[in-house]
Amino acid sequence: MAPNVTDVNGVLFESDAATPDLALANAPVQQADDSPRIYVWRNIILFAYLHIAALYGGYLFLVSAKWQTDIFAYFLYVASGLGITAGAHRLWAHKSYKAKWPLRLILVIFNTIAFQDSAIDWARDHRMHHKYSETDADPHNATRGFFFSHIGWLLVRKHPELKRKGKGLDLSDLYADPILRFQKKYYLILMPLACFVLPTVIPVYLWNETWTNAFFVAALFRYAFILNVTWLVNSAAHKWGDKPYDKSIKPSENISVSLFAFGEGFHNYHHTFPWDYKTAELSSNRLNFTTKFINFFAKIGWAYDMKTVSDEIIQKRVNRTGDGSHHLWGWGDKD
Ligand code: ST9
Ligand code: ZN
Ligand code: ZN
């Protein structure tokens, strides 16, 4: 049965937000079968435009952009991808390793190119995603379907339950970092420069690319591509794949997603052991470019205190809650 929507709609919640009710904030998450959908038309229109423009950009990528522009777009994909995987995800959301300030600076620049909101806001949503996985307090709750967990969650107001429970998150470690505070404070200046203006201007001035090719290929096509790869972790990797570590959850081991997402598709492992900096059961870095990147910086001392999980603990968990597919993955061959 659908709940009484007037109990949970955005208007009612806004008045709750003004006078926080602690008893409510500490109450268990309530599941709503039919959550309210308050459409955000600005986002719907902008994302529709982005995807149509990105299709045109993909066509230009193949047929008319200079090779330098294509390589530049690829470089931006890798850099901004690492800004999400090594930065927002493994470093800031999960604290799975520590980084000295030069690496944090590189990662925050990469992260700003990715335009997935400030790293503080990204980590805040992601901590909710792990803490309240697959409930109304999870921003991209996969039980609401593929479309919602992929992009739909960015087209509607967040669920009141998320805002209520979110008040209990501790983000003090993120706000303690001046680099992250700076990014958040100046985000609306830094992000357009890093994600759209420089990616368009650089090809035009450095190798005489046309404005059209530069804008649609290096800015819009590249941006939409990496957004969709990231969203696939929330949608596809919460739907398809084996569950060698915990068969009771939706997150799954998805190799195709891992390939494009620099090692972030081993999602059954990641939700079972979220503190492991590798986000996968690897002694090193198979299909996991992000782990290679962090390991490189560990060698020069800029990354340290990397957290992992012992083989023994993993094996115990596999035996206790896995779906029996663990032996198929060949994790024994530590490479
Ligand atoms: C984007 C993000 O695309 C993608 C993230 C994907 C995550 C993937 C994770 C998978 C693992 C990692 C794999 C990486 C793979 C990468 C591969 C690379 C090759 N906690 O948000 P508001 C409260 S972004 C606590 O406005 P609305 C808070 O009080 C794309 N509290 O909610 C807040 O106020 P303030 C570009 C929370 O109004 C207030 O609510 N960006 C939390 O319902 C209002 O927050 C966009 O398109 C929380 N988590 O609006 C923008 N959240 O902030 C999209 C909220 O002042 N977003 N509160 O403290 C929006 O426009 C809006 O957020 C909205 C909801 C319309 C979606
Ligand atoms: Zn997940
Ligand atoms: Zn995570």
Quick: pLDDT tens for 4-41.
322 222 222 222 333 334 444 454 555 554 667 899 99
pLDDT in tens, 94-137: 999 999 999 999 999 999 999 999 999 999 999 999 999 999 99
pLDDT band at residue 286 using 50, 70 and 90 as cut-offs: confident
pLDDT at 94: 98
**Nearest atom, ligand 1, residue 262 CA:** 19
pLDDT at 174 over 50: yes
ipTM of the prediction? 0.99
CA-CA-CA-CA torsion sign (250, 255, 261, 263): positive
Q: What pLDDT is stored for residue 329 in this prediction?
A: 81
Task: Ligand 1: list residues with CB < 6 Å.
Answer: 40, 43, 81, 84-85, 89, 115-117, 124-126, 128, 139, 154, 157-158, 162-163, 166, 169, 226-227, 229-230, 233-234, 261-262, 264
Q: 259-294 as b/e, with b when 16 or more CB fall inside 10 Å?
A: ebbbbbbbbbbbbbbbebbbbbbbeebbebbbbebb
3-state secondary structure 166-224: HCCCCCHHHHCCHHHHHHHHCHHHHHHHHHHHHHHHHHHHHHCCCHHHHHHHHHHHHHH
Q: Which ligand is nearest to the CA of 129?
A: 2
pLDDT at residue number 327:
86
Note the pTM of the prediction, 2 decimals: 0.91
Q: How far apart are CA 264 and CA 254, in angstroms?
A: 9
**Residue to mutate (ligand 1; options 112, 149, 158; most atoms within 8 A of CB):** 158
**Which ligand 1 atom lies nearest to the CA of residue 42?**
61
Which amino acid residue places its CA nearest to atom 2 of ligand 1?
Answer: 116
Query: Confidence class of residue 332 from pLDDT cuts 50, 70 and 90?
Result: low
pLDDT at residue 300, rounded to an integer: 98
